[in-house]
Amino acid sequence: MTATEAQTTNGVVPPPSNEEVITVSKANKWYGNFHVLKDIDLHVRKGERIVICGPSGSGKSTLIRTLNRLETYQSGEITVDGILLGDDVKNIEAVRREVCMVFQHFNLFPHMTVLENLTLAPIWVRKMPKKEAIDLAMHYLQRVRIAEQAHKFPGQLSGGQQQRVAIARSLCMQPKIMLFDEPTSALDPEMVKEVLDVMVELAKEGMTMLCVTHEMGFAKEVADRVVFMDAGEIVEMAGPQEFFANPKSERTKLFLSQILSH
Amino acid sequence: MADNAKLPPLPTGTFSARAVAWSKKNLFDGWFNTLLTLGSIAFLVWLIPPLVNWAIVNATLEPTIEGCAEVTGACWGFVNANLRLILFGTYPFEEQWRPLLAMIVLMGIICFSLGGVKYPSFRKAIIPMWVIGVPIIAILMWGGMLGLTYVQNSYWGGLPLTLILSAIGIIFAFPLGLLLALGRQSTMPAIKTISVVYIEVIRGVPLITVLFMASVMFPLFLPDGVTIDKLLRAQIGIILFTAAYLAEVFRGGLQAVPRGQFEAGDSLGLSYWQSMRLIILPQALRLVIPPTVNSFISMLKDTTLVVIIGLFDFLGTVKLALRSDPAWTKYYVEGYAFASAIFFLICFSMAKYSAYLEKELRKGEQR
């Protein structure tokens, strides 16, 4: 087991350490003339859980997608796990080995079984022997409570099951950081909980997580900080209690009133 | 359920009663369908009896011109008498067991490779089979060693030539087409430009032109004393031509794979080539099986065009046989009918295999 898993203490969220693993400073990005990220500054410590929310088009997905270089940025500096993310392909691959992403639409590989989905990256990227990779995959499938589906194809699973497989697939890379890009937005309502439960467990094990989501219950339960973005800027950033009880800016208040009103 | 009342009653009664009910429903359902049915029956009555009379009842297999002169039907005797010329062209008569054996070896390897879909244990052996098989075919065809007399490839012809040109063509055009398709999507401007120009230029000219250029123009650019074999030039022409078409087919497949698949591969730390090989291409190629096989079929038939540069493929040898004796010349319908039947057999098998492949790959993974 990894060191982070060892500190699991039931129900108590371990505090983040002081080591900084993600540094975003003055990052800017444009799509043509459209300024999607404006002078973003964000410092994430190891073990920290950050929830990013904001209206659609606010740049929140774009922000976390720049952290594993699915999106480029034009100015500023982003350092992940001590590696500067720029055009250097070696650096990009090094970061991607340590940072995994869970997508809104799962993006499982439809032509492979669940087990093959999970063992692919450990075998090809980590160069792990096949047998070891299968053991690892089964371990994480048990963790997300879906081991009995190992030999099915993704298309035969429900949305919630597919997203749990996607989380297990990321965990198989034993990443230092996990990014979640609206992981529950494409799910039927009755399946949201099974996915959030898995994410809460992960949070409690001390995984460094950045999560774009509108699940405010999740934010209240596990987040160390909540980041509110609008129109490409970080408008407000605070601990969850402060954020929900005492939002400072008008935009945050408006957003919270809209999503919490029903 | 109330809906049951609307369902037609199940057919009952004797077989003939059910047959009448069936045809009323399916063949004589309204005046238009009745008209179509009657028209079709009239057409078949007009077509089939004379065809059967010509092709079978009044036909002869007697392999002599005199035998053929006696019958009113088809003179299959023409094919019978010239079978070895049609099958093997001008390959030395005494040595024709060699192309026959080469053809059997080739078909054997092809069938084995295609069987890899059904029997995964075959897959590891596919590449070794080709690595061993191709030299065996080459030795059989060329000879010049192991006590086999040397046969220049300008004497090769007939069905083995068609099959070799097609098989080698497919084997090389496939990866080249893939590289071109990937090149066309590349973010590197030089690679992208080369791919686009290549594809557009080659697609923009007829195969005859490519073959003619390969055969007549290309040697002019070679330094004195260097010659490249005519058959090889034709083979390269066919490969280059087919690759351009396949590239566009593959590009269609690549575009149909959702963006999220590329992103998932990237985010797991896979390199470009790993992502392509393990994630993208298996999905993209599966999507384009029908148009890929389409390209293969049309390429197989296009190999008949090598006749313009003086190679005798299977269709060419039929013509050769027709010209071998002026008395046979009038039996061209039989000659071409035979050639068509063989081509149809090969192409239809490819089509059936492609349908089977699609079904087999879709098993178990309903989306």
- The span from the CA of A61 to the CA of A52, in Å, is 9
Q: Which residue has the tokens 């080739």?
A: B106
From chain A, pick out residues whose CB is under 8 angstroms from the CB of B268.
96, 100, 120-121, 125, 169-170, 173
Mean predicted lDDT score pLDDT of chain A: 88
List pLDDT tens digits, range B66-78.
777 777 877 787 7
List pLDDT tens digits, range B154-183.
788 888 888 888 999 999 999 999 999 999
Q: pLDDT category, A3, cuts 50, 70, 90?
A: very low
Hey, are the CB atoms on B258 and A153 less than 8 Å from each other?
no
- The span from the CA of A223 to the CA of A255, in Å, is 18
Exposed / middle / buried, residue B53 (Cβ in 10 Å: 0-12, 13-18, 19+): middle
Q: Which strands sit side by side in the sheet containing A99-102, from one edge to the other?
A: A99-102, A177-181, A208-212, A49-53, A225-230, A233-238
List pLDDT tens digits, range A86-113.
888 888 988 999 999 999 999 999 999 9
CB nearest A68 (choices: B267, B278, B282): B267
List pLDDT tens digits, range A154-212.
989 999 999 999 999 999 999 999 999 999 998 888 889 999 999 999 988 889 999 99
- The span from the CA of B256 to the CA of B236, in Å, is 30
Task: Tell me the nearest-neighbour CA distance from A218 into chain B, angstroms.
Answer: 24
What pLDDT was estimated at residue A178? 94
What pLDDT was estimated at residue A1? 40
* CATH classification of the domain holding A65: 3.40.50.300
Residue A116 has pLDDT above 90, yes or no: yes
CB nearest B269 (choices: A96, A109, A156): A96
Q: CA B234 → CA B62, B163, B209, B293, distances in Å?
A: 37, 14, 11, 21
Q: Confirm whether A6 is domain-assigned.
A: no
What residue ranges define each of the domains in chain B, with the CATH number in brackets?
1-45 (no CATH), 78-365 (1.10.3720.10)
CA-nearest residue to A158 within chain B is: B367
Write the secondary structure of A34-78 as one string of H (helix), E (strand) and C (coil).
EEEEEEEEEEEECCCEEEEECCCCCCHHHHHHHCCCCCCCCEEEE
Q: How many residues does chain B have?
A: 367
What pLDDT was estimated at residue B314? 84
On whether the pTM is more than 0.80, the answer is yes
**Residue range A57-83: mean pLDDT, rounded:** 91
**Residue range A11-31: mean pLDDT, rounded:** 81
Q: Confirm whether A247 is domain-assigned.
A: yes
User: Element (H or E) spanning B97, and its range?
Assistant: helix B97-115
Using CB atoms and an 8 Å cut-off, which of residues 256-275 of chain B contact chain A?
258, 260-261, 263-264, 266-271, 274
What pLDDT was estimated at residue B7? 63
Domain containing A135: what range? 18-258
Q: Confirm whether A172 is domain-assigned.
A: yes
Hey, are the CB atoms on A109 and B269 less than 8 Å from each other?
no
Mean predicted lDDT score pLDDT of chain B: 84
Hey, are the CB atoms on B283 and A110 less than 8 Å from each other?
yes
B367 touches A: beta carbon within 8 Å: yes
What pLDDT was estimated at residue A154? 92
Q: How do A208-212 and A49-53 pair as beta strands?
A: parallel
A27 touches B: beta carbon within 8 Å: no
Kindly provide the ipTM of the predicted complex, given to two decimals: 0.87
What pLDDT was estimated at residue B222? 74
What pLDDT was estimated at residue B6? 60
What pLDDT was estimated at residue A171? 92
Q: Confirm whether A9 is domain-assigned.
A: no
Q: CA B119 → CA A66, B125, B126, B242, B345, distances in Å?
A: 44, 11, 11, 29, 24
Q: Confirm whether A4 is domain-assigned.
A: no
Hey, are the CB atoms on B269 and A105 less than 8 Å from each other?
no
Residue A7 has pLDDT above 50, yes or no: no
Task: Tell me the nearest-neighbour CA distance from A250 into chain B, angstroms.
Answer: 35
Q: Confirm whether A47 is domain-assigned.
A: yes
From chain A, pick out residues whose CB is under 8 angstroms from the CB of B258.
107
Q: Confirm whether A8 is domain-assigned.
A: no
- Whether the Cβ atoms of residue A195 and residue A218 lie closer than 8 Å to each other: no
- The span from the CA of B81 to the CA of A238, in Å, is 94
- Low-confidence residues in chain B, pLDDT < 70: 1-12, 226, 364-367
List pLDDT tens digits, range A198-235.
999 998 888 999 999 988 889 998 899 999 999 899 99
Contacts by A142-149 with C-beta closer than 8 Å and gap 24+? A143/A168, A143/A171, A143/A198, A143/A201, A144/A168, A144/A198, A145/A194, A145/A198, A146/A114, A149/A114
Q: How many residues does chain A have?
A: 262
- The span from the CA of A254 to the CA of B259, in Å, is 34
- Whether the Cβ atoms of residue B279 and residue A109 lie closer than 8 Å to each other: yes
HSE of B70, CA atoms in CB hemisphere, 13 A: 8
Task: Please give the tally of structural domains in chain A.
Answer: 1
Displacement of CA B21 from its chain's centroid (Å): 43
Q: Confirm whether A7 is domain-assigned.
A: no
Using alpha carbons, select from A56, A79, A24 the residue that is nearest to residue A232. A56
Q: What is the DSSP code string of B229-286?
A: -HHHHHHHHHHHHHHHHHHHHHHHHHHHS-HHHHHHHHHTT--HHHHIIIIIHHHHHH
